[in-house]
Amino acid sequence: MNDRTCIVTRKSATPDELIRFVVGPDSTVVPDLKRNLPGRGCWVTADRTHVDLAVGRKLFARALKAEVVVPPQLGELIDGLMAKSALGALGLARKAGMVALGAAKVESSVRSGKAAAVLHAGEASDDGVRKITQARRAVVHAGGPVIAAYKLFSEHELGLALGGTNVIHAAVLAGDAGKAALKRMAALDRYRGGSPDEVAILAAVADDEKAAEDTE
């Protein structure tokens, strides 16, 4: 297997689709999320399911060719690290003026084309999410891009990261800081299994267009 082959699936992938692991000084398996730690490494498909399979099947010792200690909660540890990285990037984006807060501002940024992605807190009401989803659907219907939506963090986590209170809805705006935050959110979403949200919106728009054609 080459250096960028998942030790679970034995399939090659790009670095962004994989998580690199190395052996730490105490023989513990360490996730190298920035891919810059020294030493022999191995790769696992970047989602919780494959990390848990690698732990359960004891694949790290064979891949790293060493006696290693594998933290039993390695999958949970990685989730925490990725969440911390995403929240940190969101905080930087907020300081750079690349985050809009509040349902009204989020909806406005979506309809104006300024939003690169939308965030809903875990506590967000169905009604609040629905209104913003309708705005995202309208953008696609008008020929614009699909604006991703994520529900990755609690209201408390978003509030701490973005320096606000009652942060239920937020939009990450286009720009370098916003793109950096979006990349980390997308990686965390994939790690947690991804969401069918974008697919659902496109399908709904396609259904709407087909229904309109049928009535003409």
The Cα angle at residue 137 between residues 133 and 142, in degrees rounded to 5: 150
Say how far apart CA 167 and CA 152 lie, in whole Å: 13
Structure tokens at 117: 């992605």
pLDDT at 175: 80
Task: State yes or no: pLDDT of 164 exceeds 90.
Answer: no
From residue 208, how far is each of 137, 150, 172, 204, 215 by CA, in Å? 10, 23, 27, 6, 11
Domain boundaries for CATH 3.30.1230.10 within the chain: 15-72
Q: Tell the residue number behind the tokens 């034995």, with chain if given.
A: 10
Half-sphere exposure (Cβ direction) of 6: Cα atoms closer than 13 Å:
21
* Residue 29 pLDDT class (50, 70, 90 cuts): very high
Helix (H, G, I), strand (E, B) or coil at 184: helix
Average model confidence (pLDDT) for the chain?
Answer: 89
| 181-210 confidence digits (pLDDT tens) | 999 999 999 999 986 555 556 556 555 555
Task: State yes or no: pLDDT of 80 exceeds 70.
Answer: yes
Say how far apart CA 120 and CA 118 lie, in whole Å: 7
Domain boundaries for CATH 3.30.1330.30 within the chain: 81-215
Topology of domain 81-215 in CATH is: 60s Ribosomal Protein L30; Chain: A; (3.30.1330)
Closest to 167 in 3D by CA, of 126, 123, 211: 123
* Residue 212 pLDDT class (50, 70, 90 cuts): low
The domain 15-72: what is its CATH number?
A: 3.30.1230.10
The Cα angle at residue 210 between residues 205 and 212, in degrees rounded to 5: 95
| 172-185 confidence digits (pLDDT tens) | 998 888 899 999 99
pLDDT at 1: 43
Average pLDDT over residues 43-53: 96
